[in-house]
Copies of this chain bind each other. A is one copy, B any other.
């Protein structure tokens, strides 16, 4: 066994992050529907930086400092905010050079949880279908270990984030060059294998969260599953995401 192998694992919800050593690790935060996809999209349309904030009032304070603010709770846009959390709202050239503060029901809180646990020489990046190819290249080109952290839903697992993690496990580990450290990676991989022929249909069939929300979220979900719709690699630096397109992963 080559002990030089990098590790590759999946944290099925941020509530389980303490099980993982995240030193020298790229931590990929996954919130497919919708925070990850929205953040990538905003960068693709020219946003300069994106601050995730867990709290609604904190986001409103950023507005006074000239930020655009995006906020959502339970799928609905918050009052007084410039945007909700639909990626379609961020497809505008008006975003060029702008700073955005974003707060979502689930995603931004999870970013806080993960940040607190990030180890020495770790990096936090955003993963989504919409930045799949550039993200995969970025991860492959790095000498660091990889931990895929699914945002899940309200502390528990979510089928769409698990599927995405499984896809990355399959593609990254095609030649068995990474070592999983727990059974969570195979959970994700097995579920992705079952979902991959029709991910949208699978999610709509399986998700507890979206069953009654197809009219509200259907188009967003379709977009969120679109591979490579952007080339953004959001990287967290001092509490803010910037777009590290030119990253080599080191």
Taking Cβ atoms with an 8 Å cutoff, the residues of A that contact B are 12-13, 15-16, 18-19, 152-159, 162, 180-184, 186-187, 190-191, 193-194, 206-209
Within 8 Å CB of A158, what residues of B? 183
Most buried by B among A13, A154, A182: A182
Chain B residues positioned under 8 Å from A186 (CB to CB): 159, 206
A-B complex: 8 closest residue pairs judged by Cβ atoms: A19-B156, A159-B183, A156-B182, A19-B155, A186-B206, A158-B183, A190-B191, A190-B194
A-B contact pairs, 11 of them (CB 8 A): A15-B19, A157-B183, A157-B184, A159-B183, A159-B186, A183-B206, A183-B207, A183-B209, A186-B206, A191-B191, A194-B194
Which residues of chain B are within 8 angstroms of A191 by Cβ–Cβ distance?
A: 187, 190-191
**Copies of this chain, count:** 2
Evaluate contact between B162 and A187: CB separation under 8 angstroms: yes
A18 CA / B16 CA spacing, docked (Å): 12
> Is the beta-carbon distance between B15 and A15 smaller than 8 angstroms?
yes
Bound state CA distance, A187 and B162, in angstroms?
A: 9
- A231 → chain B, closest Cβ, in Å? 30
| CB closest residue in chain B, given A181 | B208
Are the C-beta atoms of B208 and A180 separated by less than 8 Å?
yes
- Smallest CB–CB gap between A63 and chain B, Å? 33
Q: Which residues of B contact A154 (CB under 8 A)?
A: 19
A31 → chain B, closest Cβ, in Å? 14
Min CB distance A13 to B, Å, is: 7
Question: Which chain B positions have C-beta within 8 A of A182?
Answer: 153, 156-157, 208
